[in-house]
Amino acid sequence: MAGEGTPLLLSGLSPDITTGKTAERALPVANRRKDALLATLAHALRSPLAPIRRAAEVLRMLAHKDPTRQNAVGIIDPQVSQMVRHVDNLLDVHRISRGDMLLRAERVDVASAVRAAVETSRPLIEAGEHHVLMSLPHAPITITGDAARLAQALSNLLDHAAHDTPTGGQIALTVVRDGARVRIAVTGNGGGLLADRCDDVFALSSRVQHDGQGALGIGLALVRGIVQLHGGEVRALGNGEGQGCSFEMWLPVTEPLPSPDMAPSVTANGVPAAAVGAKAQGLRILIVDDNVDFAESEATMLELTQHIVCVVHDARAALDVVPVFAPDVALLDIGLPGMDGYELAARLRADPANADLVLIAQTGWGQPADRERALALGFRAHLTKPVDWATLERVLVRA
């Protein structure tokens, strides 16, 4: 250092942060690629499941006097439902981890959400010959939340109980109000959980044992995410191996629902209660789908329920046949070759002659953005493949 205090040499460290900054800039790109991969994977898995489900439903309609066929359908249907649930759960867990899951908040009757969950899990419950014991309060209990998501979380708990409970066992589902909260408990009498594992089962990476076989805990991870989004908590209670286990959902209670004369009765999926159980018959239905197996099996199923059906496999053929066939309803796939379902819908809507034509999307693309785009283009409904027959029929009733 010079005499006047001017430094001649500085000593210090200058770390190289180039690698870290490069990785930081690459992270958004990697996330977008991961999102695209998951969406593509879901579409690829749903597409082959759609014709399998339709073929199974056709067999069910034709096999009412054939026990062998009934048994085969009884095996196929719950397995397809489980595959679909696994795909949907994986995508939903990913949305929660990114903070992208949006809730449609409304006042929800807890008992209605419970019944919807039981219906969703019924194929798995019946396959295991389980007895479900439900205990619901006489007075209605209302919470604020997304009815479909709450039913999804509850059905995942029921699925876990069904897997864990031996054939012919019992599953108890109880709903009790406790002050400002409601407790919903699902209890099976299966293998049970060890006390030191109760906190781990909700982790996405966990493996839950069912009859000695490990299964990824995607469904339980989703339960925790949905419950937390509703301001609640979920707990696993283990009584020890072989002693069964319980899962409890605790959710904040809100004011009661309006009286029946002030609000229409709806199901957990928002379908008017009057439409549930109703039958749609005699519609002229156009199916536009490049999956030949799916289209033909769906046409057979619709014809068995007294509809008049026309099938084409690309958009241009659909534009040619609509003026001649004059359909009431068009079931459109989105991922069509050449002109996709969105463009086909726009062209159909541009013709005043099709003003009364009801457009319904049936597609393997089930992201929220896909649904929003379809509804914005004038589709009456957006159904994600493989669509179960009950859901399709409810939509046709409303059509």
Q: Please write the tens of the pLDDT for every residue from 306-318.
A: 899 999 999 999 9
Establish if 22 belongs to a structural domain: no
The reported pLDDT for the residue numbered 258 is: 46
Judgement on whether residues 113 and 235 belong to the same structural domain of the protein: yes
CATH code at position 359: 3.40.50.2300
Judgement on whether residues 119 and 92 belong to the same structural domain of the protein: no
Establish if 322 belongs to a structural domain: yes
Q: How confident is the model at residue 280 (pLDDT cuts 50, 70, 90)?
A: low
Judgement on whether residues 115 and 62 belong to the same structural domain of the protein: no
Domain total in the chain:
3
Q: How confident is the model at residue 123 (pLDDT cuts 50, 70, 90)?
A: confident
Establish if 11 belongs to a structural domain: no
Judgement on whether residues 119 and 55 belong to the same structural domain of the protein: no
- Domain assignment of residue 205, given as a range: 106-252
pLDDT for residue 351 is more than 80:
yes
Judgement on whether residues 43 and 91 belong to the same structural domain of the protein: yes
The reported pLDDT for the residue numbered 348 is: 94
Decide if 271 contacts 394 (C-beta within 8 A): yes
Establish if 372 belongs to a structural domain: yes
Establish if 151 belongs to a structural domain: yes
Question: How does DSSP classify residue 263?
Answer: S
**Mean pLDDT over residues 27-40, rounded?**
67
Distance CA 329, CA 91 (A): 30
The reported pLDDT for the residue numbered 58 is: 80
Whole-number average pLDDT of the chain: 78
Judgement on whether residues 78 and 134 belong to the same structural domain of the protein: no
pTM of this structure: 0.54
pLDDT for residue 39 is more than 80:
no
Last residue of a domain, one of 98, 123, 146: 98
Establish if 18 belongs to a structural domain: no
pLDDT tens digit string along 59-96? 777 767 777 777 777 777 777 777 777 777 777 777 77
Judgement on whether residues 238 and 302 belong to the same structural domain of the protein: no
Judgement on whether residues 146 and 243 belong to the same structural domain of the protein: yes
The reported pLDDT for the residue numbered 333 is: 93
Decide if 186 contacts 247 (C-beta within 8 A): yes
pLDDT for residue 8 is more than 80:
no
Q: How confident is the model at residue 213 (pLDDT cuts 50, 70, 90)?
A: very low
Judgement on whether residues 159 and 40 belong to the same structural domain of the protein: no
Judgement on whether residues 392 and 334 belong to the same structural domain of the protein: yes
pLDDT for residue 179 is more than 60:
yes
Judgement on whether residues 58 and 118 belong to the same structural domain of the protein: no
Judgement on whether residues 188 and 245 belong to the same structural domain of the protein: yes
Q: Kindly state the tokens that stand for 56.
A: 């199974």
pLDDT for residue 19 is more than 60:
yes
Establish if 383 belongs to a structural domain: yes
pLDDT tens digit string along 359-392? 999 988 877 788 888 889 889 999 988 887 888 8
Strands (E), 89-189: 106-109, 131-135, 142-145, 170-178, 181-188
Distance CA 358, CA 350 (A): 14
